[in-house]
């Protein structure tokens, strides 16, 4: 997959650090932070001949938001994002589909391995099934958001999944092999860091290329670039900051995070409405 190859090439320049606390590559679910995990309802969704887990948080019958993981998997930080989203405005019902089927990476090399093995077309089907589940279970409208790998998939869903009502993507763009953003059907808002070094995937050039494609699509769109921010700048928990620093990403900008969340709130509120 071209998107995966772009991200893998960029990631190969990052230092690989093995945590001294773990001898194995994949973190079991039980090792996740219990405070975040306890807020979610775990549900299984079936599509075709495949069943996958999703994690749901927020009030029933509210507008839905499918929240897509970074290349790490369904870890503490994507759960933090989903909890935050569920509490924005009048509230949303946030759903995280487990695209890796239970595996979570602890370091860059493992994240590379998992993303490289991802069935991207299958992931789009997971997203579509998740959107449909939310609509069948009380959400009148459903948006999709995602981070890094999930950002690319979120944009792709705005092209390929007609049931999606709005998209907000963070620092990721799909390859033309996966989805052509000039054919987007849903309104798309996208966020990028000025200093992002993931060339062709999430850097300023990729952001500007996406903006041109969205202009051609004719859908409502916004592309925002945050000065002084690098990749994954939305990840602000102590654990995430430690992981980012281990990857050489040392910027911290709460102002940019707050602005991005404000823009997220306005966009989803505009296209999904309130419960």
pLDDT digits (tens, 9 = 90+) for 146-191: 999 999 999 999 999 999 999 999 999 999 999 999 999 999 999 9
234 φ, ψ (degrees, to nearest 5):
-75, -15
Write down the CATH number for the domain with range 41-272. Answer: 3.40.50.1820
Q: What is the pLDDT of residue 49?
A: 87
Identify which of 163, 161, 158, 187 has the alpha carbon closest to the alpha carbon of residue 269.
187
Residue with tokens 């929240």: 67
- Half-sphere exposure at residue 49, Cβ-oriented, CA atoms within 13 angstroms: 0
Higher pLDDT, 218 or 26: 218
Least confident residue range of 1-10, 87-96, 98-107: 1-10
Q: What would the two tokens of residue 36 be?
A: 């975040």
3 CB neighbour count, 10 Å cutoff? 24
Contact 61, 275 (CB under 8 A): yes
21 CB neighbour count, 10 Å cutoff? 7
The top-scoring range by mean pLDDT among 16-25, 243-252, 266-275 is 243-252
Is pTM, for the whole model, over 0.85? yes
In the chain, what percentage of residues exceed pLDDT 90? 84
Burial 115-137 (b: 16+ CB within 10 A, else e): beebebeebbbbbbbbbebbeee
Q: Is the pLDDT of residue 24 over 70?
A: no
pLDDT grade, residue 138 (50/70/90)? very high
Q: Is the pLDDT of residue 30 over 80?
A: no
Integer Cα distance of 50 and 45 in angstroms: 8
Contact 28, 202 (CB under 8 A): no
Q: What is the pLDDT of residue 17?
A: 32
Q: Is the pLDDT of residue 144 over 60?
A: yes
CB contact set of 4 (below 8 Å; sequence gap of 6+): 115, 116, 118, 120, 149
Q: Is the pLDDT of residue 80 over 90?
A: yes
pLDDT in tens, 257-270: 999 999 999 999 99
């Amino acid at each position: 997959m071209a998107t995966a190859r772009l991200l893998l090439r960029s990631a190969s320049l990052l230092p690989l650090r093995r945590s001294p606390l773990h001898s194995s590559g994949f973190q079991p679910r039980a090792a996740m932070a219990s405070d975040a995990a306890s807020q979610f309802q775990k549900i299984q969704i079936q599509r075709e001949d495949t069943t996958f887990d999703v994690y749901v948080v927020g009030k029933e019958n509210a507008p839905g938001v499918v929240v897509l993981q970074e290349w790490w998997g369904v870890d503490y930080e994507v759960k933090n994002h989903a909890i935050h989203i569920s509490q924005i405005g009048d509230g949303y019902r946030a759903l995280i589909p487990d695209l890796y089927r239970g595996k979570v990476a602890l370091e860059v090399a493992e994240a590379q391995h998992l993303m490289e093995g991802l069935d991207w077309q299958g992931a789009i089907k997971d997203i579509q099934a998740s959107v449909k589940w939310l609509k069948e279970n009380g959400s009148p409208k459903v948006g999709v958001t995602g981070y890094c790998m999930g950002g690319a998939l979120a944009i792709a869903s705005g092209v390929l999944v007609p049931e999606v009502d709005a998209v907000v993507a963070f620092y990721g763009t799909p390859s033309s092999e996966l989805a052509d953003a000039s054919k987007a059907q849903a309104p798309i808002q996208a966020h990028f860091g000025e200093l992002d070094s993931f060339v062709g995937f999430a850097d300023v050039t990729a952001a500007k290329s996406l903006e041109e494609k969205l202009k051609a699509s004719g859908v409502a769109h916004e592309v925002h670039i945050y000065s002084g921010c690098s990749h994954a700048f939305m990840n602000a928990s102590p654990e995430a900051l430690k992981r980012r620093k281990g990857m050489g990403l040392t910027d911290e900008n709460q102002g940019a995070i707050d602005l991005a969340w404000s823009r997220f709130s306005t966009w989803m509120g505009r296209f999904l409405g309130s419960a």
